[in-house]
Amino acid sequence: MLELDTFLPYRLNVLAKRISRDLARRYEAQFGLSIPEWRVIAILGQRQPLSSNDIVERTQMDKAKVSRAVNRLVQAGLLERATHPEDQRLLRLSFTDAGRDLYDRLSPQALAWERQLLEALAPEEAAQLHALIDRLNSRLDEMG
C-alpha cells in the first residue's frame, strides 16, 4: 500500500517546498526577491549571458515564471537584455552593475544558509547526500 510518509517523491517534494519557503522569506525580506527571481540571479551568477530558454532548462522552472521574473529584474535595473549576435530573435540576459552587486551580496548569504542546514549532517553524510542526488538524477535520465 502506498504511504505518503514513506514515498520518496512526496518526501522530497515536502522538503523542497519547506526549503523554498524559508529561503523565500529571507530573500523577500532582505533583497525584495521572489524565489524565481532569486533563481534567475543565481543562474546568471554562474554563467552569462543566457537566454530565458537557457534559464528555463537549467532551473526546470515554468517558462511563464521565468519570463515574469526576468521582466521584473529588468524593470528593477538588475538585468539587461541584448540581442543574440547570431539569432536576432533571441535575447541574451546579463547583469547590470546593480545586478552583479546584488549577486555578490546574496551569494555568501545563500552559502551560509546552506552550511547551516547541512550542519545537521556529518561532512561525509553531506558529501554522500550530494552523490546520491546525482545518482538519482542519472537514474531519471536513464528512465526517461
State the pLDDT confidence band at 91, using cuts at 50, 70 and 90: confident
83 - beta bridge partners? 91
The closest of 99, 86, 98, 87 to 48, measured between CA atoms, is 99
Contact 84, 51 (CB under 8 A): yes
For 30-40, what is each residue's pLDDT tens digit?
Answer: 999 998 999 99
Contact 44, 81 (CB under 8 A): no
Burial class (CB in 10 A: 0-12, 13-18, 19+), 46: exposed
Domains of the chain (ranges; CATH) run: 4-143 (1.10.10.10)
Residues 6 or more apart in contact with residue 80 via CB below 8 angstroms: 74, 93, 94, 95, 96
pTM of the model: 0.83
For 40-54, what is each residue's pLDDT tens digit?
Answer: 999 999 999 999 999
Rounded-to-integer distance, Cα 45 and Cα 42, Å: 5
